[in-house]
Structure 1
């Protein structure tokens, strides 16, 4: 697959200062190769080298365990800023970031000492975590077979963003036992011989995320390696935590994409004498962007309540639906405002227009989100709405 692993060498990458400042310093360096990575369907490996140099890989690890101790709002700001440089880098990195933020939250708020080894390793080694949550989600995917001392795993994990440089994939597989399906959760060593990254990522947008399929063929997971066993196809307290924390981070990226499209469109529009129609388009665009920002802030406020539950899922997913609608609309209006100049690939807007479409596809998608919100309003069960 197309991966360039040679680290870029910007003039100054400093680990001092807030993580938002570090992200700002990286933006021009990330932007330099964004169009090329998109055109070649090439994973942004060189940008991951920059993220490591800047100390952003361990940003969400508590300071007591060697990280920067950033909370969800700070991490979201980091990802939003990174998206101004390269959408694909920011989105792929959001998958690592939320996989760090969840155990950090559990260590901090649930006092789970079991989270410490992973968090310390992220800080010390700057390993990259992969997520298969979007492809697995609540039903799970793949097959787990009981063998002596553990389980044999066979699976194909799709949309595995960052797969070419991942160290550990946080994933699961379905075990059929006692007449019911259960999902086992575990970490997969991406260097294991039974694990292979397949060169499959050819997509409309976010082409540099390296979201290839990962094939797992006969991987042994010992009993001690299983972190959780839960019923398949329904909400679980752990997923209340994961979704409440993860989606404000992921959707910070899409907000950043919308902001960057707006800024590019304004730059292009200012080259012309503004007509009444141009003013109208610019006003509608900024109004949509403000709506997306307000909705995203609602997502962050929900996460900051530190009370994951069915209610927090409803609030986060309602915010997610609004960010999706208004971020996409912002980019549509930006493309229209830019006029013919924006239609050229060199302007960068058509790439952002394609990248923003990814906001449609993360769970909960439009149908399940509306049903979940409706069930909450009417007092109906939501445990199997996903």
Structure 2
């Protein structure tokens, strides 16, 4: 097995080859997880051993120093082989890359966290997609901090997680509903995991609920306060960094479906209808890949702001629709075989459906794009 340690410090790491090697090894374990609703535990051990969980951490902090584009490539390649592993890893990785960006561009004091990710192999968990602007749970003021009560859903990768990046809502007597953001070690008293994840697809992500019961968070651990339900500038960074990484996984799934059905369809290459369907699939997949590349370019530009967030979210909608259209065409091309689990397309089809549910969903995204085009300044997404 290729690992990060196989590359001397003086040698450039071939992240794509490394991801391909690990992805091939992860595929079998994910099939077992899909059948049993179990987390891909062995695959995450492989990711940690290989160095992929610390790939984006700067070299000077003990990481791999992979570029943002290389990180997206890693997730896309893993998505071709093991959807659940890739999606769960993307939830850790986008939080890593947000902190890398803060260190690079804001001189933020995140060196300690990045070193822990590299040397202790801690894993980050995120509840941002489920909380988004409104937040969830309650924060009650107490001496020295807050008492948090909440149930956080869709926490992908929680069986192996160490640090929960989350929030709760405080009824501020002056400012009104205020979302408090903080990081919480999973071994904090009052934090528990509720094993409820039984889903159509992405069954191996371990996206269970995390219950916070009377958890104390010190005042000094509150990293951000913002009005509930309203856009905050911090979301420009989250949008630009997180969504190209997450949606790289889904493009990888679509690429896997394309490879599977095109190989099968070569036996019917003289059928003009099949050629027509395959041509449509090629168009849809190309559209998804082009939109994803534009999202990555926007992130690499480091030009955070409302227009960049808008364009990234437009890309998110285009990728989602094109991935789903790719999967529909793949099912049509394969015909009855697609309905057989042994063929492999059925699982890819189910896993790809998750592309629908990350924010901003299409209606909200179109409202945002329309308001900006018409000169209306939105304060919510």
**One fold, TM greater than 0.5?**
yes
- Asked if 1:184 is matched to 2:180, the reply is yes
How far apart are 1:273 and its partner, in Å? Answer: 5.0
Match of 2:84 in 1: 88
How do 1:1-386 and structure 2 match up within 5 A? 11-15=1-5, 16=7, 17-112=13-108, 114-179=109-174, 180-384=176-380, 386=381
Q: Is the 8 A contact 2:139 2:168 kept in 1?
A: yes
Distance 1:76 1:12 in 2: 19
For structure 1, the residue ranges without an aligned partner over 5 or more in a row are 1-10
Question: Please, what is the CA RMSD of the aligned residues?
Answer: 1.1
Moved over 6 A (4+): none
**Aligned with 1:155: secondary structure?**
strand
Distance 1:115 1:156 in 2: 27
Distance 1:147 1:157 in 2: 22
Deviations 1:346-377 (A, max 9, x none): 11101111111111110000110000000110
Distance 1:13 1:268 in 2: 33
Distance 1:362 1:157 in 2: 15
Deviations 1:293-315 (A, max 9, x none): 00001101110110111111101
Q: Is the 8 A contact 1:296 1:323 kept in 2?
A: yes
Q: Decide which moves more: 90-99 or 115-124.
A: 115-124
How far apart are 1:229 and its partner, in Å? Answer: 1.0
Distance 1:358 1:21 in 2: 26
**Aligned with 1:270: secondary structure?**
helix
TM normalised by structure 1 equals: 0.95
Give the number of equivalent residue pairs: 374
Q: Is the 8 A contact 1:58 1:123 kept in 2?
A: yes
How far apart are 1:20 and its partner, in Å? Answer: 1.8
Q: Decide which moves more: 101-110 or 221-230.
A: 221-230
TM normalised by structure 2 equals: 0.96
For structure 2, the residue ranges without an aligned partner over 5 or more in a row are 8-12
Deviations 1:86-133 (A, max 9, x none): 100000110000000001001001111x11111111011111100001
